[in-house]
Amino acid sequence: MDNKACIEQGRTALGIEFGSTRIKAVLTDPEHRPIASGSHSWENRLEDGIWTYSLDDIREGVQDCFRDLAADVKRQYGCRLTTVGAMGVSAMMHGYMAFDRDGTLLVPFRTWRNTITEEASDALTELFGFHIPQRWSIAHLYQAILNGESHVGQIDYLTTLAGYIHWLLTGERVLGVGDASGMFPIDSATCDYNQRMVQQFDEKIAYRGFAWKLSDILPKSLPAGAPAGKLTEEGARFLDPSGTLQAGIPCCPPEGDAGTGMVATNSVAKRTGNISAGTSVFSMVVLEHDLSKAYPELDLVTTPDGAAVAMVHCNNCTSDLNAWVGLFREFASLTGSQISDDELYGQLYRHAIEEGDADCGGLLSYNYYSGESITGFNEGRPLFVRRPDARMNLANFMRTHLYTALGALKVGNDILRNEEHVAADFFFGQGGFFKVRGVGDRVMAAALNSEIRLMETAGEGGPWGQAILASYMLQKEGDESLSHYLDTKVFAGGQVERCAPVAEDVAGFEAFMKDYRAGLAIERAATEALKER
């Protein structure tokens, strides 16, 4: 069946993901191949000390993204996008979206990027004996309680960005277990919230006298493959105000970007690992055994089907790197040079690898646009520093910024490897950091001292992964596992590029990290001396 017929007969799947800088939609055929896409660029804003997106940003962004997708369908196939076989939404995990019983947002959306919950994070980690990162929804909720914020007593529903969009589209208060695991700890045996910890939390806040219990306000946790409602008339108009999209489309559980990244890289089985590297960077390894203790540098989340995963999540990755590339773009423009982004990034990145010293020549930088909990920072100040005798040249300068984009990630993964003896056989990579092949993968292989694999489809990323989850809901056979479905029906025969670590690079990265760890005192001094305006 050709693509036009698939579209007209609704034999497609749609995934929409809200990333940090882009909302993207991917439409797939019955064989999971992307056949159309749409996107919308957006940026979070720092307002009153809070990183946020407004509800208007969300609504206008997803509508523009869907409009772009529909236009792509029309342009390629000459038909209208009226329905799909199944659909799902995914988004940045964690954060805080609290609503009253009328569906009114009580406080501006607090995204994962905020590091304002240290007190709550520490208290809950001690209470549960389980690391609760600052960006998790439960940390935001408890911090709001500790702060005495008046809205807390009015909460009727607490969810993530993906859960919010799904609620608007279907009316269902549900969440995929992978995304739910970034709100509150999950019991993998039940794919539900850890009931011991739920009870501990309720007992901890009982003296406040709120009308709700924690289970009353959290979305229901669902594993991959479970039905999660259908697109309502109101949901269809929210997504497509033109009235073309029809209601009644089956929807799969909304997931987080970690879960869709695992799906998009076929990394849901034990001893598989994946890395998503863009505005933020995180690595995940599906565990064979429990960790011996809680680590503040490591998060425990789950796959979309509930298996335990050790995650190293870093708030900062490519933002500062992109800013420096932008500076060179501006210089090129001043000289009258016309150069595309692909060519600019390619030339700078390849020069860094081909001509730069393995240890960056003694240069050092920090890419901390925001706080970085892995290394103990609640705020960030991007900075570049060097000794007077450092080998300062363009190649070392760019290599330094490539390395430091992964500095915090390496800190967390060294704990997994050296203290818990947890390792993946290899890591699948996706995201903008890998756009220049032979550079991003080589630097990542050096940082983790592990083989990095890139798939030809990995560029489609999270929205493609969410479309696969929608297809899995419809096409799985009986109790077929997600891992089996991916192995046999999605990735069988797919092209994979492999990059083994280069010994010189590994040694150079280790040398760079000695300065990186020692220089954290410089970064701390910068955050103390340069207060936010």
Instruction: Give the model confidence (pLDDT) of 139-188 as tens digits.
Output: 999 999 999 999 999 999 999 999 999 999 999 999 999 999 999 999 99
State the Cα–Cα distance between residues 406 and 320, nearest whole angstrom: 12
Q: What is the pLDDT of residue 1?
A: 66
Beta-strand runs (E) in 92-233 = 97-99, 157-159, 174-176, 186-187, 192-193, 220-222
Average pLDDT over residues 369-390: 93
Residue 460: predicted pLDDT? 63
Kindly state the average pLDDT of the residues 182-202.
Answer: 97
> How far is it, in rounded angstroms, from Cα 260 to Cα 307?
14
Burial 50-88 (b: 16+ CB within 10 A, else e): bbbbeeebbeebbbbbbbbbbebbeeebeeebebbbbbb
Q: Any residues with CB less than 8 A from the CB of 462 and at least 6 apart, and which?
A: 15, 17, 19, 24, 90, 257, 260, 261, 264, 276
Q: What is the pLDDT of residue 28?
A: 97
Q: What pLDDT is stored for residue 457 in this prediction? A: 57
Whether 39 contacts 22, CB under 8 Å: yes
Q: What mean pLDDT do residues 8-18 have? A: 97
Mean per-residue pLDDT of the chain: 95
461-487 pLDDT per residue, tens: 789 999 999 999 999 999 999 999 999
What integer pLDDT is reported at residue 115 of this predicted model?
Answer: 84
Answer yes or no: pTM beyond 0.75.
Answer: yes
**For residue 325, what pLDDT is reported?**
97
What are the tokens at 10? 């609704």
What residues contact residue 236 under an 8 Å CB cut-off, 6+ apart?
169, 245, 246, 247
> DSSP letter string over 250-284?
BBPPPEEHHHHHHHHTT--STT-EEEEESSSEEEE
Q: How confident is the model at residue 289 (pLDDT cuts 50, 70, 90)?
A: confident
> Where are the chain's structural domains?
319-404+503-529
pLDDT given for residue 459 in this prediction = 52
Q: Which residues, other chains included, contact 180 with Cβ-Cβ below 8 Å and sequence gap of 6+?
A: 186, 193, 218, 219, 221
CB atoms within 10 A of CB 418: 9
Note the pLDDT of residue 423: 80
Average pLDDT over residues 326-331: 96
Burial of 206 (0-12, 13-18, 19+ CB in 10 A): exposed
